[in-house]
Amino acid sequence: MTNAVKTKIALIQMRCGPEPDDNFSRAIEFIRESAQKGAQIVCLPELFRSQYFCQTEDHKNFDLAEEVPGKSTSALAEVARETGAIIIASLFEKRSAGVYHNTAAIIDANGKLLGKYRKMHIPDDPLYHEKFYFAPGDLGFQAWPTPQGKIGVCVCWDQWYPEAARLTALHGAEIIFYPTAIGWHPSEKKEFGTAQHGAWETIQRSHAIANGCYVAVPNRVGHEAPAGGDGIEFWGQSFVCGPDGEIIAKGSVDREEIVIAEVDWRRVNEQRTHWPFLRDRRVDAYGEINRRLID
């Protein structure tokens, strides 16, 4: 499959309210607006159909889950055909009774479901109780060829792991999308907020550099406390960085917006040949990477 030379991509930075149908309808409007602005790949933030329900462990939230493929992917397939845009959509997947995943669906411009990625790294932190809801992914790290380029997808907590980015790149990904839902605990923001956001942005820019690929990260905005308490203040700042790690487009801290960037696929080959990290990897020396700890 021959790549386009340049592609416009759009990251949807949106607020998510308590009504899933409203969120879904608004997401579709954002996709249409992105396509009108020339976007050929559109990526939605993590679990965009609902507020971030993982702030509590509540069995009622399993009612938010759906089959993938299913109702949402069918509706998004129609939008993909209508707009001619590739769509990446993060969904709460019900695989079977008692087995659920945090899953991204990749839908081609012709409406075909290219595949899905199940989030591999599942956090369990204050207000991020994802292990209660999601089984770890079992589809591995992947990349999908499209007329616009070969795209990889990971999800949120995966973004902290160099291994995830590396394996996605080794599958041929020229861009890695990270649908995301991350923000500040309001009580911690003053003391730790700047450092927390800086670490998040830096680690992902480093993935772009180490793998010579683009990285694109849509995040949500707004304050959400669906179960009361302080909740989470999602910090937005969705961004796209090039293969050299330089940020080429970035969203605001607190506004809904469409973050658009132009991807020049030739830069991937240029970066990987001028900074040949993939060539110089000592694959013969990395066997211990599959151990939890080297005592």
Residues designated as active site: 46, 119, 156
Residue 185 and residue 126 in contact, taking contact as beta carbons nearer than 8 Å: yes
Structure tokens at 189: 């923001």
Terminal C-alpha separation, the chain: 46
Ramachandran angles phi, psi of 14, nearest 5°: -135, 160
- The residue written with tokens 């479901």 in the block is 113
Query: Quick one: CA dihedral 18, 255, 202, 31, positive or negative?
Result: positive
Residue 248 and residue 220: Cα distance in Å, rounded? 19
Q: Can you spell out the DSSP letters for 222-260?
A: EEE-TTSSS-EEEE---EEE-TTS-EEEE--SS--EEEE
Amino acid at residue number 44? L
